[in-house]
Amino acid sequence: MYSEKIMQIFAHPKNVGIIKNAESVGEAGDVNGTDYLKIFLRVEGDEIIDAKFKAFGNPYTIACMSILTGMLKGQDLSRLSEISGETVVNYIGELPEGQQYIVALIDDLISSCIKDYIKKQKKLNNEE
């Protein structure tokens, strides 16, 4: 059912964990449902220097999160909105029928992450 590539990534996902005091945290999915994604970004200047995730879901979900966090490291923060669920899925090939919802989850996750970063930056700027 799962490709060798998916199972390899699923068995050894990279960037699992949390980043305390992350400059941005994004969430998507339903914490009580079948799929829930949470991503943490550490940002210095305009560069994403670290990305970690927590996820509940099937091997496709876990593999996509491992890939996404790897893609984000070293990226300019302004390019975050250019990365999409489709970008991640293109890396692994195709998602089988019934798994396409993961693309939308990743898109929601990235949007949540951007909104959180903007909110935190506004709060910092108002406090200074």
Sorting pLDDT into bands at 50, 70 and 90, what band is 1? Answer: confident
Domain count, the chain: 1
Residue 103: count of CB within 10 angstroms of its CB: 17
Residues spanned by the domain of 119: 4-127
* In the block, residue with structure tokens 């940002």: 43
Q: Pick the range with the lowest mean pLDDT from 21-25, 60-64, 103-107, 121-125.
A: 121-125
Return the CATH number at 18: 3.90.1010.10
Under a CB-based contact definition with an 8 Å cutoff, are residues 35 and 59 in contact? no
Residue 40: count of CB within 10 angstroms of its CB: 23
Residue 17: count of CB within 10 angstroms of its CB: 11
**pLDDT score at 44:** 94
pTM of the model: 0.92
